[in-house]
Amino acid sequence: MDRRAFLGRAIGGAGAASWAATARAALPFNPFAGVEPIRATPDRIFRTTVCLRPFRAAGPRIEVEQVGRKRVVHNYGHGGSGWSLSWGSAEVAIGMALADGVREVAVIGAGALGITAALTAQRAGASVTIYAREQFPHVRSARATGTWSPDSRVAMQKAVDPGFGDRWEAMARSSFATYQSYLGLPGDPVEWTDRYMLSDTPFGQERQPAAMPTERPDDFLHLESRLSDIMPRSVEMAPGTHPFRPAFVRRNSSLTFNVADLAHQLTHDFLIAGGRLVPMEFHEPGDVTRLKQKVVINCTGYGARALWRDESIVPVRGQIAWLIPQAGATYGVFYGSLSMLARRDGIVVQEVGQDEFYGYGDANEQPDHAAAAASVRQLAQFWA
């Protein structure tokens, strides 16, 4: 989904306790009960990470290519929607991989797309080996924001074919349904949490961003309205009924991926089902001929740009300042150009810019620690 529609929720600063007491007296229930103020100070940062999202204007590449005697099924290029679309795209890719009864499959890549494709193949009866240079927690998808966002930078409006919307919706619904089975598990790998979107002006009257330069690509494709029947609706909070500094607030709820727990759960499930993880590095398409399996599922994400010489992949840089987790703090907030998502495995603070082109085309993976500290200081100003 559009991240701005889902990000937001917090409470803190001087006066928070008195506001909560007033709310309890004035309301039949306190909608902010249990919300922990975030200790947003740079000394709480325990790491700063950068992730390059693999964006393709035409959307994810899920198709078959013959390489020598190997059938390669590509499954990459999901932009900012890798975790969110992973199970649905895996179903499509596995259908292609096992089309003629093959029961031994190789998966290249151990990130979100690789591990879900491997599990989906196992559940379809295949014997699966994952070959990867890196495994969790060193893969790029370990640095994801962790919010359900199935249409975040997934494609460009004018670059997709007429059937893309239907395929996207099927993948999104399948993934959404699968993630429900991870709710309530130990470690809370997936859970529903609240989001708050904050604004200084009434919603619908926000200042419009400056026009994009003509050299920029077309607008990103947004398809979230297709899922309106399964997603909670936003609720506006009247001024004076919330603890935030901005006057106008919208509340929503969404799925949160606690990626450390989720990756551990998925890897454990894969291994106990007989899967194998083999360290291996690939430098060119012909390297797949070294594998014994006749069918190879390529889930290399941004790495496919170099490995498969696929220059249709555009990097979209995103940096996260990670704050130490706080017991009971599980919510998100979006205000201006900054977002925060408090997960059980860390509090994600991210500069997201004024439009979706922030970080577009930037392949720099070096952390900017000064910018990370500045983002955390900015976060501290969200509350009254």
Give the model confidence (pLDDT) of 205-242 as tens digits.
765 555 544 445 569 999 999 999 999 999 998 877 77
Neighbours of 246 (CB within 10 A): 18
With contact defined as beta carbons under 8 Å apart, do 97 and 295 qualify?
yes
Strand 295-298 with 104-108, pairing: parallel
3 state DSSP class of 95: helix
For residue 212, give the DSSP letter. P
Which of 67-81, 226-240, 324-338 is the most confident on average?
67-81
**Helix, coil or strand: residue 97:** helix
Q: Is the pLDDT of residue 26 over 50?
A: no
Give the mean model confidence (pLDDT) for residues 318-344: 94
pLDDT at 6 over 90: no
Which among 366, 367, 357 is positioned nearest to 337, based on CA atoms? Answer: 357
Whole-number pLDDT of residue 30: 58
- Segment 285-296 shows an average pLDDT of 96
Q: Are the beta carbons of 304 and 298 closer than 8 angstroms?
A: yes
Average pLDDT for residues 108-123, to the nearest whole number? 98
| pTM attached to this predicted model | 0.88
**Model pLDDT, residue 17:** 44
Which residue stretches of the chain are H helix? 16-26, 82-97, 112-123, 164-180, 259-272, 304-307, 369-379
β-strand pairing of 127-132 with 276-279: parallel
Asked whether the predicted pLDDT for residue 5 surpasses 90, the reply is no
Q: For a pLDDT cut of 90, what percent of the chain falls above it?
A: 80
Confidence of residue 244 (pLDDT cuts 50, 70, 90): confident
Q: What pLDDT is attached to residue 328?
A: 84
Confidence of residue 349 (pLDDT cuts 50, 70, 90): very high
Q: Which amino acid is at 365?
A: E
Q: Residue 357 to residues 78, 228, 257, 301, 353: CA-CA distances in angstroms?
A: 16, 25, 24, 19, 8
Angle of CA points 337, 338, 341, to nearest 5°: 150
Q: Average of pLDDT values for 336-340?
A: 96
Q: Give the pLDDT band (50/70/90) at residue 9.
A: very low
Contact partners, residue 345, CB within 8 Å, separation at least 6: 258, 259, 260, 261, 325
- The alpha carbon dihedral of 202, 203, 204, 207 has a sign of positive
Sign of CA dihedral 256, 261, 264, 266: negative
For residues 267 and 141, the answer to whether their CB atoms sit within 8 Å is no
> For residue 156, what are its two tokens?
């460009």
Q: What is the structure's pLDDT at 334?
A: 96
Among 14-28, 238-252, 263-277, top mean pLDDT goes to: 263-277
Compute the distance between CA of residue 330 and CA of residue 5 in angstroms, rounded to an integer.
17
* Cβ pair 338, 349 in contact under 8 A: yes
